Structure 1
Amino acid sequence: MLEPAYQVDVVIVGAGIAGLSAAHRLTSAGITTAVLEAAPYTGGRMSTEKIDGFRLDRVGQLLSTSSPELRLTPGLDALPLRRFAPGVLLHRDGRAQRAGAPAGGGSARGALHAVRALASAPRGGAVPPGRTGAPVGGAVDQARLGAALGRIATAPVERLLSRPELPAGQALARRGVPARTIEGFLRPLLAALLCDPELSTSSRCADLALRAFAGGRLAIPEGGADVLPELLARALPPGTVRTGVRVTSVATTSVTTAEHGRVRCRAVLLATDARAAAELLPGLRVPDFHPVTVVHHTTDDPAAAFATGASLLLDADRGGPVAHTAVLSTVDPTRAPAGRTLISSTVLGTPPQDLDAAVRTHLARLYGTSTRRWETLAVHHTPQAVPTMRPPHDLRRPVRLMAGLYVCGDHRDTSTVQGALHSAHRAATALLTDLGATGSLHTADPAPRLPKAA
């Protein structure tokens, strides 16, 4: 018998959230799809390690409840989110202060009300319940910051993208934001959102991140970061996703794998990280990356949880390696076994040599309690965690390289979960247009079979 001209409509290389999201949109439109992943698991950087009942994220990117992509991406309508306490908790000059965005995400008055210090502590101490302290900056700074958050929460995206583009730190200073507000609030906040403590990110990308923060609540997926890709994979036809399959070369009408030889198709979508995509398609731009290290501790001492509750705690002083930390078992109790506390801390940039000792010393100051008896569960270092977005940054890099060859991922959009999902949406739309989704489609088996290697 003659071999078919192709075995599947689209081959997607990479089973991260971009590839899985694109696959869902394609299969929903009747396009047969095979998702090939070299790793033994899906999700890419959105993976979670399970140790003795703990669920430990490898990168731990923060989500926002105001993100439209989380609401509109097919397959994620059932994504359970656990919210942090409104705003963030800032540790500065030995005191902890709360600064936040309006709970409803609307008015400048609401933002002004939210940007208040709700708690303070003596130098070197944690936040005792029920105490109040001074606001971030003075009354004038508080009013300006509250009004700015209120405005940016409702600003049209097009208006933010039309602003002159500079490194975020320079742009904030030129807008007249006081240095104490930048250093005491915006720098630690944007470092947590963008993994960029130096504020070298494009001011347009920083504005989008602040808009999401001001318009909603910071959150994490219930049960771990890998819940998000698992939901996407579960919504696909059985057999669509194949793990442990390494693609060695790509063309517009086929891919070659180490395990199954050549797989013929009508189009190929690269949904890997930037470096892996450039290895398959030399000439693709490879950005620099922000390295991220996540250190997970546990303790049976509830003092840390009582001190900060479900807050994201940021170090405005930059007095140690930890950029931000949280008692995740308070935010999401499913991440730790009963009676145990999970503290997850993020280190940005190159970690110090004696990482665990430096992190413990820093956390003792931030939480105001001894960390000597804390148990280190895991240390996850990801050198290429987040693509940099230095200006000029193209927020909508092309996803269609040529007819039959497409690319998506956070390196084609913003370097966030939302950016990865949005680039997948753009790539799927381009594919459906080129394949003529309303016309005659190939009717292959919904779980296409891969050939055996020669």
Structure 2
Amino acid sequence: MTQTEDGGDVVVVGAGAAGLACAADLAAAGLRVVLLEAEDTVGGRMRTDRLAGFTVDRGFQVFNTAYPQVKRRLDLRALRLRPFTPGVLVHTDDGPRRFTDPSRRPRESRDLIPGRLASARDLLALGTLSARDVLAPAGHLRTRPDSTTLTALANAGISPELVETFFRPFLSGVFLEDELETSARFFHLVWRTMLRGTLCLPTDGIGAVPAQMASGLPDGVLRTGVPVASLTDRGVASADGGHHTARVVVVATGQSAAARLLPGLQVPRGRVVTTLYHAAQGSPLAEPTLMVDTRRRFLHTCVLTEVHRGYAVDGRALVSTSVLGDPGPGQEAAVLAALAEVYGADTRPWELVHRVVVRDALPAMPPPLALSRTTRFAPGRYVCGDHRATGSLQGALASGTRAAREVLADLRRPSAAL
């Protein structure tokens, strides 16, 4: 028997970052909101699991303190953030090179001496690019003519050598693509926030971020374990045969689910990434630093237990390594061999404690990229998520914010007929 429930004024489908932001703003405006989440807890892709004494996120993620929406919505102190080392280690054929911000770690900037990681000309071009991105108004970066990141780096005077030594291996892990075909607008905004903020992880894993947002919702708004099967003329139908009525429905899922629930919705291609979590008896790198590889055998690797010792409770080190796509066993063995080389460690005894494939991990963002798109899809139907903005926590939160703003504006119009 179908059970019909009053969904209030608005039903929001999906309790990831975008759905949580949208529901919070609508509830704060006095609307009756129901937030439906298919999983047993909130977060979407921002999930953390506890497996055999290890704290592992569903795919490697970092938290950037410089995002405006993060500053607005979250209590950073309560997250007990653990920072990564500013900069990255780049594994080259000549050994490791440290790419760091000299304004933060001047004593560790010796690899920025001309001739080690880059030429004097490249370092001047890089310094000019970085200064412009840090000091220019964000609005200027959003509206400048767009191109691919590869073209933007060339136009900034960055040589092909530095692109291959640093930018391609590093940005492949940021964009989840290795052609640097991502929008230059997005690159400049990301570079700006990296220089202005701190990359870190919450003590309890990335899942602590959506958990904190959910804790601020009014009682009765959030309902987990309710997968939505379809949208109806009067609301949404859940997979168990239930029905939630509402004047407005906001689809705040990932792009594939959004396209299924809203036939005709155009969504970008999704990027696929796999993260391998290995346990080692000792830490192969005694610092909380991301490492990338100029030969691009993996996207990035780091020792998570150097970020926070509590990510493993048995005293072993927890190493996270991400690769593009969904590699087979042979490719995983090759990754382990590459890790032996870059860490200078015997990886044969390492235990694979978790393997997670994240599909639609990020939306493809080729130029020209609209950094924010309307969430209006049809009368009474809205859609938000990072695929409607930029592939980042900032993008997801901003899109959820925009959805709430557009819903409220439409509901308050005197002639509104949703």
- TM-score normalized by the length of structure 1: 0.84
**Amino acid across the alignment from 1:404:** G
Q: CA deviation at 1:313?
A: 0.8
d(CA) in 1 for partners of 2:162 and 2:233? 51
> CA offsets, 1:40-94, max 9 Å, x none?
3321111122112211112222232211111112576733322111111111123
The residue aligned with 1:123 is none
Q: Residue 154 of structure 1 corresponds to which residue in structure 2?
A: 135
**Residue in 1 that maps onto 2:289:** 311
1:375 shift after superposition: 1.0
TM-fit CA distance, 1:179:
0.9
Residue by residue over 1:98-148, the C-alpha shift from the partner in whole angstroms, topping out at 9 and shown as x without a partner, is 1123657xxxxx9xx5893459xxxxxxxxxxxx99642123322332332
Match of 1:175 in 2: 156
CA distance in 1, matches of 2:77, 2:406: 23
Closer, same or farther: CA 266–115 of 1 in aligned 2, 3 Å: farther
Shift of 1:271: 0.3
3-state SS of the aligned residue for 1:78? helix
Other structure's SS at 2:78 match? coil
Q: 1:289 to 1:237 in 2, by over 3 A?
A: same
Residue aligning to 1:185: 166
Q: 1:224 to 1:26 in 2, by over 3 A?
A: same
Which stretch of structure 1 is more off in the superposition, 173-182 or 346-355? Answer: 346-355
Which amino acid in the other structure matches residue 293 of structure 1? T
**SS of corresponding position for 1:370:** coil
**One-letter amino acid of the counterpart of residue 360, structure 2:** Q
Q: Match of 2:341, as an amino acid?
A: R
Q: Does 1:142 align with 2:123?
A: yes
362-371 or 16-25, which deviates more: 16-25
Q: Does 1:368 align with 2:347?
A: no
Matches within 5 A, 1:386-397: 386-397=362-373
Look up the equivalent residue of 1:92 and give its one-letter code.
T
- The reply to whether residue 279 of structure 1 matches residue 260 of structure 2 is yes
Identity, in percent, stands at 39
Q: Is the 8 A contact 1:15 1:35 kept in 2?
A: yes
Deviation at 1:353, TM superposition (A): 4.2
* 1:414–1:279 distance in 2 versus 1, CA, 3 Å: same
* Amino acid across the alignment from 2:147: L
C-alpha contact (below 8 Å) 2:15/2:37 kept by paired residues: yes
Relative to structure 1, the CA distance from residue 84 to residue 225 in structure 2 (aligned partners, 3 Å threshold; closer, same or farther) is same
Runs of 5+ in structure 1 lacking a partner?
A: 105-109, 120-131, 438-454
1:430 alignment counterpart: 406
Distance 2:326 2:6 in 1: 46
- Going from structure 1 to structure 2, the CA distance change for 1:348 and 1:208 (only over 3 Å counts) comes to same
Give secondary structure in 2 for the equivalent of 1:393: coil
1:444 maps to which residue? Answer: none
Amino acid corresponding to residue 72 of structure 1 in structure 2: R
Residue type at the aligned position of 2:275: V
Query: 2:231 aligned with 1:250, yes or no?
Result: yes
Residue 259 of structure 1 and its aligned partner are, at CA, apart by 2.5
Q: Which deviates more, 8-17 or 74-83? A: 74-83
**Mapping for residues 340-379 of structure 1, pairs under 5 Å:** 340-379=316-355
Correspondent of 1:399 among 354, 359, 375? 375
| 1:93-104 correspondence to structure 2 within 5 Å | 93-101=93-101
CA distance in 1, matches of 2:261, 2:101: 43
90-99 or 405-414: which moved more? 90-99
Equivalenced residue count is 410
Which one is further off, 287-296 or 20-29? 20-29
Runs of 4+ in 1 over 6 A off after TM superposition: none
Label 1:72 to 1:312 Cα distance change in 2 as closer, same or farther (>3 A): same
State the partner residue of 1:116. 109
Deviation per CA, 1:286-307, whole angstroms, max 9, x where unpaired? 21111100000111223x132x
Q: 1:174 to 1:281 in 2, by over 3 A?
A: same
- Give the SS at the match of 2:360: strand
User: Where do residues 52-67 of structure 1 align in structure 2 (5 Å cutoff)?
Assistant: 52-67=52-67
8 Å Cα contact 1:54/1:336 also seen in 2: yes
User: 1:281-328 deviations in whole A, cap 9, x for unaligned?
Assistant: 1110121111100000111223x132xx1111111232x2x1101111
Secondary structure of 1:70 counterpart: helix
Report the secondary structure of 2:247's partner residue: strand
Task: Say if 1:253 and 1:268, in contact at 8 Å, map to a contact too.
Answer: no
Structure 2: any 5+ residue segments left out of the alignment? Answer: 414-418
**Does the C-alpha gap of structure 1 residues 154 and 116 become closer, same or farther in structure 2, counting only changes over 3 Å?**
same
TM-aligned CA deviation for residue 6 of structure 1: 5.1
Aligned to 2:217: 236
> Of 370, 394, 397, which aligns to 1:418?
394
SS of 1:190 mapped into structure 2:
helix
Counterpart in the other structure of 1:42: 42
Pick aligned residue for 1:382 from 334, 349, 358:
358
Contact 1:117 1:133 in 2 (8 A): no
Instruction: Specify the alignment match of 1:125 in structure 2.
Output: none
Residue deviations 1:401-452, cap 9 Å, x none? 2442211101000011111011011111112223339xxxxxxxxxxxxxxx
**Aligned with residue 325 of structure 1, among 276, 280, 301:** 301
1:100–1:65 Cα change, 3 Å: farther
Shift in alpha-carbon separation, 1:96–1:263, aligned structure 2, 3 A: same
| Conserved 8 A contact 1:252-1:403 | no
Contact map agreement 2:125 2:156 (CA 8 A) in 1: no
